[in-house]
Amino acid sequence: MKADWVAKISDRVEQHVRQVKGEHATIICASGLSPSGTVHLGNMREIMTVHLVAEELRARGWQVEHIQFWDDYDRLRKVPAGIPESFASYIGQPLCEVPDPFGVYASYADRYITEFSESIAPLNLPMTQVRQSIAYREGRYTHKVKQALAQRGEIFDILAEYQTRQEQQETVSERRAAYYPYKVYCEACGKDTTQIQHYEEATASIDYSCQHCQHSGAFSLNEKNSGKLVWKVDWPMRWSEAQVDFEPAGADHSTPGSSFTVGQRIVQEIFHSPAPQYAAYAFVGMEGRVKISSSVGTDASPANALSILEPAILRWLYIRRANNQPFNIDFGQGLLRLYDEWDSLVRQVAAGKVNEANLVAYQRAIQTSLGAVKRAERTVPFSLLASTLDVTQGNLEQVLRIATQSLKEEEPLTPAQLEPRLTCAANWINNYLPEDERTFIRASFDTETYAQLGESEQEALRLLVVELEGAWNLDVLTDLMYRIPKQVRELPADAPATPELKQAQRAFFAAIYTLICGSDTGPRIPTLMLSLGKEKVKSLLDPNGASVVTESA
């Protein structure tokens, strides 16, 4: 099989590790996110890229650790939408010290780290989570900070090579002398609006002043760490300290002069460690015309995606597209097609008719080194579940009966056999399906609409009402939908589908939809009828039975 994107990256990482660490080393794969707000599906791609490579390397027999770095020691840069404007007073303070806007968690950072960690649990991602605020404050990086401060001139020279020339009041020498790759968090106001005035290498002492509150202070790195390295130095420092072998990043980090380009130089020339293998990943977004419920918000977050997608399917979306290919996750009608694609793959696998590439993608989607990933035990079409839930207003008994018939099961299906798909369908109907796309059911027979139908359609409806007295299941109803237009035209049941016959069938379908839903389209008619019950359907299709309005099945 031609190597897929996961295997190709894994090959590079494997070769790198053999060269720099040796055959029996532990491979360190890293991802990093800032808890500055809700983590989105685009950010999630970094974690999934690392996870998939780590899993591939484990399958090859390597010891692998996936480290997820949380940049909770970064400053609050701006107040996101939905957060009180008063939080502007915290700009410049570390995320780990900013209070939770809603008063539930210990800090702003805690809210978004916890939210994300809990939401991705169904994806089975083995990882070690490291909070940078703790790592810095515990002194884990102190020796590297000292190293960076001791070589601040060399770091300035590297950064200067990639900076665009701008009009500067100070000369290069003056800027170099004043440069420090470290930002102090003021001990008085907590902000990073500080300037280091002096660093004494022998005692690791820092003198600084704060432009925000005019506080002047001093401390020794030997006693505490009240600040952090600037980003372009912090990242390579982390690579060196954790001995990272692979870390991807967004495509913007791989442009000339970007963080990764500079980081490669700094990790080798300042920290004397090899640069990790790298892969750029592309955008992941949200699309589809949807109604966003106020209870779930507008975020394209893993939590919202997992509310309507089985975990195995969400994994599959990240697996089947190469890391450098952008894609969108459709929260609208495209979701139905996505489930159909997945179900088709499941059937191909079961029948042994799937190609090797798709089989590998499927296996990666449903299983990790932590175990099986959640997916529905019985694959009832998502569209059937959604339309039945919509029409019956969530009547579980009706849903299970129709789902059982659709799979031709002898024993009734249970809710557990349909989870998590059943809940996903309910969430989609309630939280994302626009009102004008939901199925409207008429309260009573529409005499005016019936009178406007052609003679052929009225005759077909009369035959249908008679036939409805018989068996009441998906197979029978499906047969009726295609047989009755032939019967009206005195054609045999096996008559070929000519253009004229197809047109007649479409007119028949439109007549049914119009009388039941007030529209010329809707859910599959057999499913719609089963959802409503026989007497309700007859009351809407038969002018002679218009007074019958019970909904028994």
Q: Which two tokens stand for residue 141?
A: 């990086």
Per-residue pLDDT band for 339 (boundaries 50, 70, 90) equals very high
The confidence score (pLDDT) of residue 18 equals: 97
Q: What is the set of domains in the chain, with CATH numbers?
A: 5-146+230-281 (3.40.50.620), 166-228 (no CATH), 284-372 (no CATH), 441-553 (1.10.10.350)
The confidence score (pLDDT) of residue 455 equals: 92
The confidence score (pLDDT) of residue 393 equals: 85
User: What percent of the chain stands above pLDDT 90?
Assistant: 76
Q: Which two tokens stand for residue 338?
A: 């996505």
339, exposed or middle or buried, with CB in 10 Å at 0-12, 13-18, 19+?
A: buried
The confidence score (pLDDT) of residue 214 equals: 97
List the one residue out of 136, 142, 147, 127 whose CA is nearest residue 51. 127
Q: Is the pLDDT of residue 254 over 70?
A: yes
Per-residue pLDDT band for 290 (boundaries 50, 70, 90) equals low
Burial 341-359 (b: 16+ CB within 10 A, else e): ebbebbeeeeeeebeeeee
Q: Is the pLDDT of residue 162 over 50?
A: yes
Number of Cβ atoms within 10 Å of the Cβ of 26: 12
Residues in the chain: 553
Average pLDDT over residues 197-205: 97
The confidence score (pLDDT) of residue 31 equals: 97
Q: Is the pLDDT of residue 495 over 90?
A: no
Q: Is the pLDDT of residue 298 over 80?
A: no
Average pLDDT over residues 499-519: 92
In the Cβ-directed half-sphere of 541, how many Cα atoms lie within 13 Å?
27
Per-residue pLDDT band for 320 (boundaries 50, 70, 90) equals very high
Amino acid (one-letter) located at 131: R
DSSP labels for 352-387? T---HHHHHHHHHHHEETTEEPP--SS---HHHHHH
Q: Is the pLDDT of residue 107 over 90?
A: yes
Q: What is the three-class DSSP state of 5?
A: helix
Q: Which of 152-156, 239-243, 266-270, 548-552 has the lowest average pLDDT?
A: 548-552
- Greater confidence (493 vs 480) lies with 480
The confidence score (pLDDT) of residue 482 equals: 92
Q: What is the three-class DSSP state of 456?
A: helix
* Cβ atoms 27, 13 nearer than 8 A: yes
The confidence score (pLDDT) of residue 326 equals: 93
Average pLDDT over residues 270-275: 97
How does the average pLDDT of the chain come out, rounded?
92
- The C-alpha atoms of residue 194 and residue 92 are separated, in whole angstroms, by 10
Average pLDDT over residues 404-419: 92
Q: What is the pLDDT of residues 433-444, one digit of tens each?
A: 888 888 899 999
Per-residue pLDDT band for 505 (boundaries 50, 70, 90) equals very high
Q: Which two tokens stand for residue 229?
A: 């390295």
The confidence score (pLDDT) of residue 469 equals: 86
Per-residue pLDDT band for 553 (boundaries 50, 70, 90) equals very low
Number of Cβ atoms within 10 Å of the Cβ of 454: 11
Average pLDDT over residues 490-508: 89
The confidence score (pLDDT) of residue 134 equals: 97
List the one residue out of 39, 89, 92 whose CA is nearest residue 68. 39
Per-residue pLDDT band for 1 (boundaries 50, 70, 90) equals low
Q: What is the pLDDT of residues 18-70, one digit of tens each?
A: 999 999 999 999 999 999 999 999 999 999 999 999 999 999 999 999 999 99
The confidence score (pLDDT) of residue 171 equals: 86
- The C-alpha atoms of residue 356 and residue 331 are separated, in whole angstroms, by 29
List the one residue out of 337, 378, 368, 344 whose CA is nearest residue 358. 344
Q: What is the three-class DSSP state of 470?
A: coil
Q: Which two tokens stand for residue 175?
A: 């800027």
Number of Cβ atoms within 10 Å of the Cβ of 430: 17
- The C-alpha atoms of residue 176 and residue 181 are separated, in whole angstroms, by 11
Helices and strands (H and E) in the chain: how many: 23, 14
Per-residue pLDDT band for 265 (boundaries 50, 70, 90) equals very high
- The C-alpha atoms of residue 482 and residue 501 are separated, in whole angstroms, by 10
Q: Is the pLDDT of residue 167 over 90?
A: no
| Residues 6 or more apart in contact with residue 281 via CB below 8 angstroms | 45, 46, 49, 248, 249, 250, 251, 323, 324
Q: Which of 199-203, 286-290, 417-421 has the lowest average pLDDT?
A: 286-290
Q: Which of 321-325, 334-338, 375-379, 548-552 has the lowest average pLDDT?
A: 548-552
- Residues 48, 49, 51, 56, CA torsion sign: positive
List, in sequence order, every beta strand (DSSP E) within 432-511: none
Q: How far is CA 159 from CA 180, 259, 260, in A?
A: 12, 10, 12
The confidence score (pLDDT) of residue 328 equals: 93
List, in sequence order, every beta strand (DSSP E) within 50-120: 63-70
The confidence score (pLDDT) of residue 300 equals: 86
- Greater confidence (123 vs 478) lies with 123
Q: What is the three-class DSSP state of 283?
A: coil
- The C-alpha atoms of residue 126 and residue 68 are separated, in whole angstroms, by 10
Burial 32-52 (b: 16+ CB within 10 A, else e): bbbbbbbbbbbbbbbbbbbbb
The confidence score (pLDDT) of residue 287 equals: 83
Q: What is the pLDDT of residues 139-159, one digit of tens each?
A: 999 999 999 999 999 999 999
- The C-alpha atoms of residue 36 and residue 87 are separated, in whole angstroms, by 13
Per-residue pLDDT band for 212 (boundaries 50, 70, 90) equals very high
Max mean pLDDT among 264-268, 292-296, 481-485, 503-507 falls in: 264-268
Q: Are β-strands 216-220 and 128-131 bridged in parallel, bridged antiparallel, or unpaired?
A: unpaired
List the one residue out of 420, 390, 208 whose CA is nearest residue 310. 420
Per-residue pLDDT band for 550 (boundaries 50, 70, 90) equals very low
DSSP labels for 148-215? HHHTHHHHHHHHHHTSPP---SS-HHHHHHH--SEEEPPTTT--S-EEEEEEETTTTEEEEEETTT--
